[in-house]
Structures are given as structure tokens and as C-alpha cells.
């Protein structure tokens, strides 16, 4: 493991120092990158609303109920759901013709804890 510790090399006016050198370990870098992945998935109004709807319905919600909530085509909603699933934020389940989505509460807890 490696840390970055950088002493500024430039001369400072009057010999002042602007602040203490910053250290940023690789472990925290990796965690921050994972959290950025989750935040990126949530960083679209449609997807944030999808998550909001899903978590307010304790059970699993059918895609056919989600599509008409937005002024978007069915393929577009399907695309957003896929992005959320790829980020580990939601899960899905097929029952016959229908697909049901639900929020993975661990993922939400993970990101909200990290940010708090």
C-alpha cells in the first residue's frame, strides 16, 4: 500500500505556507471510487425517482407500473433500471410475463453511511 504525501515545491511569498500537506491513502481512494459509482447511478432524475418509488413500496414493483410514471418510452425506463441494477442499487425478479424490481437496502445504507 502506498500513500501520497506531497510537500509543495514552490516558493511561497514571505515564506508562508498555505496549509498542511494532504495525505490520501489508496484504500480511501478505492472506497470513494465505489461510492462515486453508486452516486453516478443515482445522479439522474429519472433513476433517483425510480429508487424513490421503489423504496416506498416495501414489496416489489412491476415494470408495467413504473413506465407510465414517466414521460418516457418503455426502452428508456428499462435502460435506467438496468443502470441501477448494474450499480447494485436495485434487484429484479421475473414472474411469468412481468418483471419486478426492488431496492437493495444494503446498497442504500452503504452510500448514506459513507456520506454522513
Partner DNA sequence: CATGCGGATCGAAGCTCATCGATATACATA
Partner DNA sequence: TATGTATATCGATGAGCTTCGATCCGCATG
- What is the nearest approach in angstroms of DNA to the Cβ of residue 2? 20
Tell me the C-alpha distance between 22 and 33, whole Å: 18
* Distance between CA atoms of residues 116 and 102, nearest Å: 24
Name beta bridge partners: 101.
Answer: 61, 92
The footprint of its own copies (CB under 8 A) covers 4, 6, 8, 10, 13, 18-22, 24, 28-29, 32-33, 35-37, 39-45, 47-49, 51-53, 57, 59-62, 64-66, 68-69, 96-98, 100, 108-109, 111-113, 115-116
| 6 versus 18: smaller Cβ distance to DNA | 18
Order of strands, sheet of 90-95, starting from the edge strand that comes earlier in the sequence: 61-62, 98-103, 90-95
Nearer to DNA by C-beta: 71 or 106? 71
Which residues form the interface with DNA (CB under 7 A)?
8, 10-14, 16, 18, 40, 44, 46-47, 62-64, 67, 71-76, 78-83, 92, 96-99
CA distance 60 to 31: 29
Amino acid at each position: 500500500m502506498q500513500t501520497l504525501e506531497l510537500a509543495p515545491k514552490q516558493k511561497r511569498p514571505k515564506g508562508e505556507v498555505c496549509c498542511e500537506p494532504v495525505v490520501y491513502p489508496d484504500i480511501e481512494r478505492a472506497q470513494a471510487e465505489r461510492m462515486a459509482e453508486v452516486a453516478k447511478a443515482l445522479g439522474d432524475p429519472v433513476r433517483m425517482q425510480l429508487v424513490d418509488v421503489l423504496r416506498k413500496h416495501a414489496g416489489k414493483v412491476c415494470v408495467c407500473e413504473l413506465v407510465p410514471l414517466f414521460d418516457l418510452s418503455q426502452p428508456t425506463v428499462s435502460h435506467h433500471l438496468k443502470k441501477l441494477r448494474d450499480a447494485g442499487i436495485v434487484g429484479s425478479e421475473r414472474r411469468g410475463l412481468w418483471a419486478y424490481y426492488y431496492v437493495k437496502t444494503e446498497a442504500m445504507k452503504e452510500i448514506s453511511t459513507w456520506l454522513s
